[in-house]
Amino acid sequence: MNAAHGCPRDTRGRRFSIPESRRSEPRSRTRIGVSGERIPGIFQNTAVIQIQLPVTNTLRAAVLTSALVMLGYAMACGGRNQSVVAPSPNTSALATDSALFSLVTQTDPFNSYSLFPSVDAVFNGTAFHGPLDRVRMNAKALAALQSGKLPPGTKFPDGSVVFKEILTNGGTTTTYSVMYKDTGNPQAGGGWLWSEFSPSGVVGFPIGNRGAGCTGCHSLGRGPTNDLVRTFERQHSP
Ligand code: HEC
């Protein structure tokens, strides 16, 4: 579980937090900026006109109070581990190709996964992934299915792996194509990390590409309703 649950996130999944340099800023430097504003427009060339809005104590107090509330909220969300803006406070995020490779070969090894339900163990792949494919998924991904399908309107949970081996016609595995669900990961594309490796771990397609070159085609067909997983289209009809 992520400790930041409920805190605001930016589009790259990081928690907003206040940089250390600004956290220690003394409150007396808070500027309210109400009086002395200039009016732009037709008077600009003739005279500098200033309006003096009275800054009442009530207004001052209101502004200060809301500033303190926001500061407190930001610190409650961002201050727990004292990490400031970088790197990602999501410490569970996979950051490197080698971390993903060890995940799918050691920590949660693909040869323990289940074959994609209702699909031939080995099938003729598309031109991109051919000639032969074998697709499996880890326990987490499998648990998201009902009767072998992804229930409408749902997505695979974080930690799901859909793993495809590309084989030669002779049955030798030449490539691992991996989709790893990690929605908050800054390197995710469509919620997944996308990568390709040789069986010895040489990176063919790095996660840093964020699925560029993969997500377009995975958004075709029934990809959009199947959380971009296209092997569902290979399932035998009931
Ligand atoms: C031209 C279309 C196309 C491109 C490009 C493509 N894929 Fe696929 N991919 C498919 C299709 C279609 C399937 C379903 C199996 C099949 O029919 O071959 C699939 C299946 C997969 C699977 C098994 C899970 C699933 O979605 O069914 C993985 C993993 C995968 N692709 C990874 C990738 C990665 C990584 C890239 C980019 C490097 C990529 N794909 C690019 C079409 C594509």
Residue 204 belongs to a domain: yes
Long-range contacts of 21-26 (CB under 8 A, 24+ apart): 23/75
Residue 26 belongs to a domain: no
Contact 163, 175 (CB under 8 A): no
Split into its structural domains, the chain has a count of 1
Share of the chain above pLDDT 70, in %: 61
Say what the pLDDT of residue 125 is: 84
SS3 category, 38: strand
Give yes or no for residue 218 having a pLDDT over 80.
yes
Cβ 135 under 6 angstroms from ligand 1: yes
Task: Check residues 135 and 72 and name the one with the higher pLDDT.
Answer: 135
Residue 200 belongs to a domain: yes
Residue 80 belongs to a domain: no
Say what the pLDDT of residue 99 is: 98
Give yes or no for residue 28 having a pLDDT over 60.
no
Give residue 19's pLDDT band: very low, low, confident or very high (50, 70, 90): very low
What are the φ/ψ torsions at residue 64 (nearest 5 degrees)? -65, -40
Residue 171 belongs to a domain: yes
Lowest mean pLDDT among 1-15, 59-73, 127-141: 1-15
Say how many Å lie between the CA of residue 231 and the centre of ligand 1: 8
Give residue 219's pLDDT band: very low, low, confident or very high (50, 70, 90): very high
- On whether the pTM is more than 0.75, the answer is no
Which residue puts its alpha carbon closest to atom 2 of ligand 1? 217
Rg (CA), the chain: 26
Residue 101 belongs to a domain: yes
Q: Which of 118, 126, 173 to mutate to test the pocket of ligand 1 (most atoms within 8 A of CB)?
A: 126
Compute the average pLDDT of residues 46-53.
Answer: 41
Give the domain range for residue 118: 97-234
Say what the pLDDT of residue 237 is: 77
Lowest mean pLDDT among 7-21, 170-184, 209-223: 7-21
Cβ 128 under 6 angstroms from ligand 1: yes
Give residue 18's pLDDT band: very low, low, confident or very high (50, 70, 90): very low
Say what the pLDDT of residue 127 is: 75
Compute the average pLDDT of residues 111-140.
Answer: 93
Give yes or no for residue 141 having a pLDDT over 50.
yes
What distance in Å separates the CA atoms of residue 53 and residue 17, rounded to the nearest whole number?
33
Share of the chain above pLDDT 90, in %: 57
Say what the pLDDT of residue 10 is: 39
Contact 198, 204 (CB under 8 A): yes
What distance in Å separates the CA atoms of residue 176 and residue 171, rounded to the nearest whole number?
14
Say how many Å lie between the CA of residue 153 and the centre of ligand 1: 21
Residue 71 belongs to a domain: no
Residue 226 belongs to a domain: yes
Compute the average pLDDT of residues 31-57.
Answer: 42
Neighbours of 186 (CB within 10 A): 17
